[in-house]
A and B are shown apart, each in its own frame.
Chain A
Amino acid sequence: MHMADALVSPAVGVTMAAVSVGAIAYSVVKMKKEEDFDEKKIPLMAVSGAFVFAAQMINFTIPGTGSSGHIGGGILLAALLGPYPALLTISAVLLIQCLFFADGGLLALGCNIFNMGIIPCLFAYPLIFKPIAGKVLSNGRIMAASVFAVVIGLQAGAFGVVLETSASSVTALPFGTFLLLMQPIHLAIGIVEGIVTGMVLVFVRSMRPEILKSSAEKKSLGGVSIKKTIIVFSAAALLIAGILSIFASSFPDGLEWAMEKTAGTAELANNGAFKDVAGSLQGQTAFMPDYDSGAAGIVGGLITVALTGISGAIIYLFKRKKACKA
């Protein structure tokens, strides 16, 4: 479910990054304020992050289907570490996956942290997992809580992917069709992942009951009302989106103005490039650039690529020659 850079527009990427940075900063503050925060938790979080990274790579066979699946880990970490540490850990894992494994992009990191970190840890866990699991844990309750929380968290995450991709207007896939493709697949994945998450938690509880007990007994999110959190987050998202859209609509005008000042004409602005910025920023799918020069553009593009390749080869040969001499 990792989104790549190519699927987001700058406006969507920056908005989601701002929301995620806000949530991470909030989690750091909340974690440090918690009365029982001890630094011992830092190595536990780090090793759990590495654990989730490895656990995501364990393939297991799904009975009756012949296919295999793997776990995501958001709810699992939230249940083992608590929601705030889980979000921080997942965010760090996503950053590592993006930097070193090309799993999700740098600009899309905000989207990915939101879909796979914030949704399961700060929404699905406190709103679904905790109420079902209750304070007195039992295996049945843990199982039910895991399945529901993972399924709903994954549905919301998949919905986030659809929304973010559509808002970026990079694909011609109609919103409804995209939704119909994504949601059922993730329903199936969610059920399987939920069951496995429940099984892991039941196992951990049977071996070390104190780990789950300590996170279950904590007050719901350190006494902060969930409603307030949701309101603050949606307000922040709206505010940022609003500011960005103002910026987006004034941006091309500003550039045209600059063109007029420097070139004495705004004519250049009409041959596609500037409209294009506006188009991509505002998600106007109706925009069609001037394609009289389309074929010539592609041919010219191929020539630039070839030229780049040649200059790359020249630098390479030059460097090798130098290395041989030295």
Chain B
Amino acid sequence: MQGLTKATYGFHRLDSLARGNTAIHKMDPMTKTITTLIYVVIVVSFGRYDLSGLMPFVFYPVILMVISETPLKPLLTRMAIALPFCIFAGAANLIFDKETAFFIGSTSVSFGMISFFSIILKTILTVTAVLILAATTPMAQISKQFVRLKVPSLIVLLFSMIYRYINTALEETISMYTAYRLRAPGEKAVKMKDMGAFTGQLFLRSADRSERIYAAMKCRGFSGDYDHIRSGNVPRGEWLYIFILTASLLVLRFFNLSVFIGGVLS
């Protein structure tokens, strides 16, 4: 049940990080989303044996993290969530793909090892890229951007409201769980036979809360829409940033910098 407390803490952490005041934070959220998407697509477009081509892509998260002053620890803890399944899928390559690709010194490196490390590296790169986006963009701005992208207001409203109430739901769950633990000492987790009442009760409390929220929203003139946000445009200078970044990513995609540097040295 530690996960609950961790999640509550994690929310506060990203929230406070997103309120920073660096060049990355000040960037238009649209710019950041476009570049993150382009980066993720280019990274996953690498073939499974192209580990050396992938390595120079480390530059993007590293430079962004330094400029945006994003600490490493919250990124690492979240990475732990994404890695296990990828390690599982990658480990299969170690077993099924044993043919030797090349030698480093006298140790042979198999194709499986290359593809294993390329999956791990891809996971690290894509996860950090998305997390840096979240850690430098406040929630309100993300919703604003959805409105600009003409996402239906119902979905934008849902997205921002769920985000807002996750904390409340987590705290509610923690206090219910504490109460449960006090009544059932020595239990590691909720007993399965109690799950119906436990989770059902949690839902009913949530439903009651939604009634009160609705009343409060109505009092403030809620009409079912979310269109009070004025849309803006991506500043011209940032288009240049998008263009230059995309161009350099594409160059790195088709020109293997690692092989080049390795070749020059040997």
Contact = CB atoms under 8 A, between A and B. Distances in A.
Interface of A: 2-10, 13, 24-25, 28, 31-32, 39-40, 42-51, 53-55, 57-63, 68-69, 71, 80, 88-89, 91-93, 95-96, 98-103, 105-107, 165, 169-174, 177-178, 192, 195-196, 198-204, 207-208, 211, 255, 272-274, 276-277, 279-281, 287-289, 291-305, 308-309, 311-312, 315-316, 319
A89 B161 CA distance: 11
29 contacts: A4-B86, A4-B126, A5-B122, A5-B127, A25-B152, A39-B223, A42-B214, A46-B157, A47-B207, A53-B166, A54-B4, A59-B3, A68-B188, A102-B78, A102-B79, A107-B126, A165-B89, A173-B89, A200-B196, A207-B204, A277-B45, A280-B48, A288-B49, A298-B258, A300-B55, A302-B55, A303-B262, A308-B62, A315-B67
B207 A289 contact: no
A42 B225 CA distance: 10
Given A200-B196, A273-B253, A291-B101, A9 B93 contact: no
A203 B49 CA distance: 52
B68 to A, nearest CB: 10
For the complex of A and B, the 10 pairs showing the least CB-CB separation, nearest first, are A199-B196, A300-B262, A297-B52, A301-B55, A203-B200, A296-B262, A46-B161, A294-B102, A301-B258, A300-B258
B146 to A, nearest CB: 10
B126 A106 contact: yes
Contacts of A169: 48
Nearest to A80: B203
Contact of A289 (B49, B203, B222): B49
A289 B202 contact: no
B189 A60 contact: yes
Interface of B: 1, 3-4, 7, 10-11, 14, 36-37, 40-41, 43-56, 58-59, 62-63, 65-67, 69, 78-79, 81-82, 85-86, 89-90, 92-93, 96-97, 101-104, 109, 111-112, 114-115, 119-120, 122-123, 126-127, 130-131, 133-134, 142, 152, 154-155, 157-159, 161-166, 168-170, 172-173, 177, 187-204, 206-207, 209-211, 213-214, 217, 222-224, 253-263, 265-266
A207 B198 CA distance: 13
B104 A315 contact: no
Instruction: Please indicate which of the listed interface residues A60, A174, A281 has the most CB atoms of chain B within 10 Å of its own CB.
Output: A60
A59 B259 contact: no
Contacts of B158: 42, 45-46, 49, 88-89, 92
Contacts of B213: 43, 46-47
B130 A298 contact: no
B119 A61 contact: no
A204 B195 contact: no
A101 B7 contact: yes
B116 to A, nearest CB: 9
Given A103-B82, A308-B62, A312-B62, A303 B258 contact: yes
Contacts of A28: 152, 154-155
B40 A58 contact: no
B51 to A, nearest CB: 7
Contact of B131 (A102, A192, A281): A102
A291 B262 CA distance: 13
A3 B127 CA distance: 12
Given A200-B195, A203-B200, A308-B62, A172 B165 contact: no
A313 to B, nearest CB: 8
Contact of B256 (A101, A200, A297): A297
Instruction: Please indicate which of the listed interface residues A5, A55, A273 has the most CB atoms of chain B within 10 Å of its own CB.
Output: A5
A45 B213 CA distance: 12
B261 A303 contact: yes
A88 to B, nearest CB: 6
A184 B104 CA distance: 40
Contact of B177 (A31, A45, A58, A293): A58
